[in-house]
Structure formats: structure tokens, C-alpha cells
Amino acid sequence: MKKNLSIFFLAIGIFFLNITPVSASTCDGYINWEQEPNNLMSKEETNYLLPYSYCHTANKGYLPAGDIDVWNFDAIKKNYKVSFRAPEGYYYDLVIWQRFSDGHLEEVARTDSLDQVKEIDLPGRTGSDGELIKEYLVVVHSKWTTNRDADEPYTLVLLDKE
């Protein structure tokens, strides 16, 4: 009888574990990996840069010699900070472009330093009610030629600030 009762309570426990909703904390440490292809002129061929507020997202990617990575994001909040860390011993640069509704691009920020960590502040939505949402492209590239690829990825974090 005790054995049957134990199995019954075990089955009920498993049932309730299966229907319990998963909390948002299960996505902590989420990593959004860069995917190919990367095309500055095509919205369909860019990666989407996820903000840190979404599951503490770190966006990561590898940059082979001669390649560029393009990350796209829509600035729906008022202010952003883009933080970037290159792999040890590698010096990558960031160029941030704003894409306008007619499709043309305008450069809004550039880093040209040998710092491993780079940070850029960007304005987000504008207008009295925040009706204009800006679209940005974050381009990671290396102006230095190298004969070896990095063993570790770069990290790109998008902090959204109200």
C-alpha cells in the first residue's frame, strides 16, 4: 500500500511540474550568435542585435579575416549604449549607420582606437510621443590585416536606457 501511495504522489508531483509556467529567469545568460550572410544594404541579410534587457542577452560573433558583421536594431526606447569587446589581441572597429525610410544610410558613429572595449551612446526614438523609431546598423570590422582568425568571439551588448 505504501509503495502504491508513493507512486501516486510521485505521479501527481510530475504532473504539476509539467504544467508549472517557466519563469523568465530561465533565459539568463542567453547568447545571440552572429549568423551569415551579412549585407549592409539588405535588411533580410543582417543579424538582429538583441538588447541586454531581453534575458541578459550577450550578442557574440566571430570575425574571420576580411569579413564584416552587420547587426540591425530598431531603437524603440529613448537612449542606448552599444558596448563592444574584441577578443584579446585583436582590434576591431565599429561603425554605426542609421537607415532611413527611403533606404539611404548615414554614418552616425565610428570608433578608431586600439581599445579592446568600446562604448557608443545612441539616441533612440524621437518626437513628442516617441513616434519616430530609428533603425541602426552596427558594423563590426577590422582594418588590420591578419593571417589568423580569433579563437574566441567578440561580444556586443546593447543597453537600452529610458
Q: What is the SS3 assignment for 155? A: strand
The per-residue DSSP string of 75-116 comes to: E-SSEEEEEEEPPTT---EEEEEEE-TTS-EEEEEE--S--S
Give residue 23's pLDDT.
38
Match domain 28-161 to its CATH number in 3.40.1360.10, 3.50.50.60, 2.60.120.380, 3.40.109.10: 2.60.120.380
Residue 156 has pLDDT above 90, yes or no: yes
Write the pLDDT tens digit of every residue in 109-132: 988 777 777 888 888 877 655 568
Considering the chain, what percentage of its residues have pLDDT values greater than 70? 77
Handedness of CA 94, 76, 51, 61 (dihedral sign): negative
Cβ distance 120 to 111 under 8 Å?
yes
Write the pLDDT tens digit of every residue in 73-103: 988 888 899 999 988 888 888 999 999 888 8
pTM value? 0.74
Residue 1 has pLDDT above 70, yes or no: no
Q: Parse the chain into domains and list their residue ranges.
A: 28-161
Mean pLDDT for all residues in the chain = 78
Residue 137 has pLDDT above 60, yes or no: yes
Given the DSSP bridges, would you call strands 79-85 and 47-48 parallel, antiparallel or unpaired? unpaired
